[in-house]
Structure 1
Amino acid sequence: MRDVKTSIEGWGSGLLGVVIFSGSLPATRVAVAGFPPLFLTSARALIAALLGAAMLLLLKQARPGRGDLFSLGIVALGVVLGFPLLTALALQSITSAHSLVFIGLLPLATALFGVLRGGERPRPLFWLFSCLGSAAVVVFALSAGESGSLAGDALMVAAIVVCGLGYAEGAALSRRLGGWQVISWALVLAAAPMLLLTVATFPSTLTGIDLPAWLGLAYISVFSMLVGFIFWYRGLAVGGIASVGQLQLLQPFFGLALAGLLLGEPVAWTMIVATALIVVCVAFARRHA
């Protein structure tokens, strides 16, 4: 009975994290219309770092050991700097609906880095479905028409790679430090360079930046950068990395719905088909990992 309750708690927490993350790209798409990508990346990380530091101080958390600093650095480079910056740059030339198709590869990227970190030996079928999923992304990107660009697609692929690395490293580290502590310490570790970058890229004037851009910045700073990770890493720690990680497969569908409903972006049937095919391939790949 306890195992069932723990499993439900882990999946519920993980699902909340996925739902929160699903709004990240649409919110970034709105925010990047008013703020430069570099400033947006550093500002969101700095705001979240201040909140994370306050939580660590109020709850009197012990400092991580020296051996954890390297892993925290990888998490910071992957999910604090790399993914936010690369997606912000990509969303200057592609729609959030288009970008969400690439999110279908995130579970696979996480699994691949889990293999590299854990020294596992996947079955041949794992590589088959991995290649099929990657091929679906390439075909979709090349046939996307005006809604996509080669530069934007390349940036999204790079974003998925660094995010997968940050997820895998953070999931392993959360077993020792705890879920919300990992993202909080990673944010604190990145706070100093993010502060310098914020000052260096601060817009010459804030006049003319509309309310949706401010709301987008607020969402990705508080929810995408901190709150979502609290639920996500807790779900991984409580319910199991492999099982709860499957919930990432739902993120493209949630994101496409938000992009269509909130931003009014066109969601072509090819996007839905490509996303569905990627989800199927990733699901089978993870099954045979």
Structure 2
Amino acid sequence: MRVDDSAIPSSAIAVSAAGQRRAPGRRAAPGTAPRGGATGTVLAGLGVAAFSLTFPGTVWALEGLGPWSVVSVRMVLAGLIAGGCLLALRVRPPARRQWPGLLAVAAGTVVGFPLLTTLALRTSTTSHAAVVVGLLPLTTAAYSALRTGERPSRTFWAAALTGAAVVVVFAVWQSGGAPTTGDLYLFGALLVCAAGYAEGGRLAREMPGWQVIGWALVGCLPVSLAGAAIALSAESVRLSGHTVAGLVWLAAGSQFLGMVVWYRGMAAIGVARASQLQLAQPLLTLVWSVLLLGERPAVAAPLAAVAVLVCIAVTQRART
């Protein structure tokens, strides 16, 4: 079954093609990021804004559901949304060579990261988890350099490592000098999510970003449906306004719409550069933790956030 181009939104075609366009007669040097300009940066930034609400949404969902129920129900809802979009637009399945990458996306961003961070948030505060996950840009850039051939400059790496060091020092200081069990879950989440982001960014150069996350979610539906049935029967269920709102945002906002714009942004400006925009995510999540959850982050949090934002400015100017 083929897809009629007229059935796909023109914006989706334009953005997904951004990573493919080149000047006539010229080819981009190996390892350089596609030229997407301000559009790619804005799209990736919107993804970061959506992701910054993931931890508060998870905390709300955990008020009425167990961790395994939150993750599995989130996957089911997001998979149904994605499947509906793919069916409505009559999108044909990906090529066989693209499925290994989609499996990596599913393992990292659909299953691994949500599960590990949900388990971590049972004992860690939202603000603490947000700062630890600030390491994600560095792990994503490192994985991308090994997997996709991108070779960021020394200035890029120096700024990224500085931002990561700020995050590590802050996290260890807030934990009292030693990593907690929640930190171990979060560090594991960083590794699997970095692989999922990098593979998704690579695939988004070949197919629209919404289809990357869409097929990953649909591919997980059999597992997520079975998992939801088991988890809901084994864990207590106490639905409330917060629980429902948290689940809806996790499925529609963080897991689907956020991923759509995020992968499109990475396809336009490159995985390594887009990943550095996530250095702003801890700051945004800290703000949400105060406004939505009533948490009181440590006094050093704003200082760490400012230092991280400076690193963002440097990495966005550094040539790859």
The TM-score with structure 1 as length reference comes to 0.88
Listed as ranges, the gaps of 5+ residues in structure 2 are 1-13, 19-34
How far residue 194 of structure 1 moved from its aligned partner, in angstroms, is 1.0
* CA gap 1:138/1:237 in 2 versus in 1, 3 angstroms: closer
How far residue 10 of structure 1 moved from its aligned partner, in angstroms, is 2.4
State how far apart, in whole Å, the 2-side matches of 1:18 and 1:123 are: 23
Aligned residue runs from structure 1 range 1-289, under 5 A: 7-120=37-150, 132-145=162-175, 150-203=180-233, 208-280=238-310, 287=318
**Aligned partner letter, 1:235:** G
* CA gap 1:262/1:83 in 2 versus in 1, 3 angstroms: same
SS at match of 1:99: helix
How far residue 280 of structure 1 moved from its aligned partner, in angstroms, is 4.5
* CA gap 1:102/1:276 in 2 versus in 1, 3 angstroms: farther
State how far apart, in whole Å, the 1-side matches of 2:276 and 2:158 are: 18
Does the 8 A contact of 1:21 with 1:228 survive in 2?
yes
State how far apart, in whole Å, the 1-side matches of 2:235 and 2:300 are: 40
The structure whose residues are more often helix, as a share, is 1
How far residue 269 of structure 1 moved from its aligned partner, in angstroms, is 1.9
State how far apart, in whole Å, the 1-side matches of 2:136 and 2:51 are: 12
State how far apart, in whole Å, the 1-side matches of 2:155 and 2:41 are: 26
SS at match of 2:232: coil
Listed as ranges, the gaps of 5+ residues in structure 1 are none
Give the paired residue count: 286
How far residue 36 of structure 1 moved from its aligned partner, in angstroms, is 1.2
State how far apart, in whole Å, the 2-side matches of 1:205 and 1:241 are: 38
Does the 8 A contact of 1:29 with 1:95 survive in 2?
no
**Aligned partner letter, 1:83:** F
**Aligned partner letter, 1:51:** I
State how far apart, in whole Å, the 1-side matches of 2:39 and 2:165 are: 35
State how far apart, in whole Å, the 1-side matches of 2:218 and 2:164 are: 34
Q: Deviations over 1:158-196 (max 9, x none)?
A: 111211111100000011121000000000111111111
Compare 135-144 and 22-31 and name the one that shifted more.
Answer: 135-144
State how far apart, in whole Å, the 2-side matches of 1:175 and 1:121 are: 17
* CA gap 1:139/1:236 in 2 versus in 1, 3 angstroms: closer
Identity %: 38
How far residue 45 of structure 1 moved from its aligned partner, in angstroms, is 0.9
How far residue 245 of structure 1 moved from its aligned partner, in angstroms, is 3.6
* CA gap 1:145/1:230 in 2 versus in 1, 3 angstroms: closer
How far residue 62 of structure 1 moved from its aligned partner, in angstroms, is 1.4
**Aligned partner letter, 2:112:** G
The TM-score with structure 2 as length reference comes to 0.80
**Aligned partner letter, 2:214:** S
Does the 8 A contact of 1:141 with 1:150 survive in 2?
no
State how far apart, in whole Å, the 2-side matches of 1:15 and 1:282 are: 12
Does the 8 A contact of 1:98 with 1:271 survive in 2?
no
Q: Deviations over 1:38-67 (max 9, x none)?
A: 111111111111110111111111110111
* CA gap 1:247/1:129 in 2 versus in 1, 3 angstroms: closer
**Aligned partner letter, 2:146:** L
How far residue 230 of structure 1 moved from its aligned partner, in angstroms, is 1.4
**Aligned partner letter, 1:107:** P
**Aligned partner letter, 1:10:** G
| Residue equivalent to 2:4 | none
